[in-house]
Structure 1
Amino acid sequence: MPDDDPASPAPRHALIVGAGIGGLATALFLVRAGWRVTIAEREATLHEAGAGLQLSPNATRLLARLGMMADFTDLAVRPQEMVVRRHDGTVLSRPVLGKAAEQRFGAPFLVIHRGDLQNVLRQRAEKTSGIAFRLGHRIIDLRETDDQVTGIFETASGVTVRIAADLLVGADGLWSRVRPLSGLPQPSQPQGKTAWRGLVPREAAPIFAREAKVNLWLGPNAHLVHYPVSGGEAVNVVAIIDEPWLEEGWNAPGDPDVLTRLFARWDEDARALIAASPGWNRWALLDRAPESRWSRGRVTLLGDAAHAMLPFLAQGASQAIEDGASLAAHLGTAGHPAPIAGALARYDRVRIARTARIQSGARSQGRIYHLSGPLALARDTTLRLLPRDAALNRYAWIYAHDAESLTG
């Protein structure tokens, strides 16, 4: 039956709160499945910010199914390997990525600036029939009946707006407003680590840092990650340090002199890269304890709103994209819609189990990165002995995963 036949049922309507990576990707997956989507965002204008991120094959295969890989051609970098070093510059291992990862998992491993990824998703959503944006809308409450859920919003001018839908998705980040409105506790757990993030223009970066590689430096109580982004025009640099967060809020400008002192005993290449950044922002690193549920009635969560995680498996953005694909798959297509309550229960079951495992793995990885003394020596010896494809083997359970499978 054609879509414009008057006997065709009206498409179901999803209200997504939050226009970040997870919200935008989810909108695209839902529209592909026959939904109509409204994205409500508290900011009056959409702007792309943040630092670099890694997209592993479990996410890029999903973006490829949306027909988006060509959109990343000039923006993403395909690293050929990871170079793991001690803080004194000694190379410990060179795990393969690039062609080896793509051949094994059928999708590429990419590094990209968060703003570039968000911009590509936003542009695709703006061009997609069935997606509408409501900017400058801050959610303040929600109401639910048997047959619909209504988000109640306040605009910048103080006007109250109600938007009714079949489903409400909280994709509004670490400090989600939907989360407490759906009856889940809000606090995230500080992990005693701070991320210093910088972006170095290509022409200012040391030559070694411009190469298409992910670089990981390991030191006592700290580590350093860097890789090129924005088509190689900049180098994303992140320094992770064991330190308590004492600021108000969860990010603040970073004093470069403090960072220079913290890395004063590191190799000169690491120090040169740190010195090349024109500025730094400090971020508290937090995660959440796994929940027994994310959904209630016609309301659910995804991304950081559901499962904030530490960045040490580089899965934050990839898991948000997985969430959106999984949610759409469980809700069914226009021709074969699934009842919402049952679909959300199944979504919770498969996604909570997977993201909880990744959260736990990220915490463990952070501890391993920051070892010192004899334990660090044992770690380094192990890294030297590993074959170059060991990381692909170890994390195949992440990279080979298909989130559109109804069992995942």
Structure 2
Amino acid sequence: MRYFAFIIVLLGAIHFPASAERIKDVTAVEGVRNNQLVGYGLVVGLPGTGEKSSFTEQSFKAMLSSFGITLPANLKPKIKNVAAVAVHADLPPFIKPGQTIDVTVSSIGSALSLRGGTLIQTFLKGVDGNVYAIAQGSLVVSGLGAEGADGSKVLVNTPTVGRVPNGAIVERSVASPFNQGDHITFNLHRPDFSTAKALSDTINDLVGPNTATAMDAASVKVLAPRDPAQRVAYLATLENLEFEPADNSAKIIVNSRTGTIVIGKNVTLEPAAITHGGLTVTIAEQQNVNQPNPLAGGQTVVTEQSIIDVARDDTRAFVFDPGASLDDLVRAINEVGAAPGDLMAILEALKEAGAISGQLIVI
């Protein structure tokens, strides 16, 4: 028999006053974002934990040919200290040529470990195919792997992935639309019409009417000066303004894998009744030995006897008045004594009956 431990997180069981948020914490400025870079390269200097594959050999020969060294066509180098890797990084906004960024290096072949290796010059390209950075350097690998002669293995973390801190030099910057046009746009991390209106009202109260306009549930467009220095100072002031975002919509989130249930504070109940009863069926097998009559000349035999026991727990019903709160729901579930497996069924049944005002989401 399996037992599942369910965790219920109650948002709103304890009522806290609404807290103000800074604009910079709940929004992002349109056009100010990272750009993904990716490249293919080789890690050399591995202590016998590299790989021998066709594309690794091809890459190794291509690297040698770039230095004027040509290997015979029929020669297949036996290399175990080289690994083919994928290199990726994020190019932050406003970063300039000559600055450095961190890179992540991942084995794409059968290499056992990248520990102790060095990434040789690798071009990092953007989605447009242009080279934006060049990576090179010694890897920092937190993983560790060991294998015995009998095939037993010990693996700690992931030894085939490493990082090169400040391992890439930026060669090309990405043009940003930040200084273009007469507006800047704040995009909400969590779209909500009420929050967008509150955000625009806060900016208008400080700067003046019609300065900010809520375009939809996610975007607020704000008039801004064209001069770059003035625009930076202007945005520095706006992004530190505090306002109160609207409450989130009523939701119940159920994670069936981990047993976590999160109930939002705005969840309420309509008039409803919950009846919970438990039926326990126990089946046991018992062996009986039957002895024959000594005068009958029979044989001793073993027979199987099944014992079935059915027990029904007391059934209890709970009735909720209109506008019952989250606390009422949780208290009733606790009083019913619902098993973890029954808790989700109760919530789903209430939702199907239209007795829960929130949205039930199972992940």
TM-score bracket, shorter-length normalisation:
under 0.3
Q: Report which of the two has the higher share of helix.
A: 1
From the CA coordinates, give the structure whose radius of gyration is larger: 2
Given the two structures, how large is their TM-score scaled by the length of structure 1? 0.17
TM-score (normalised: structure 2): 0.19
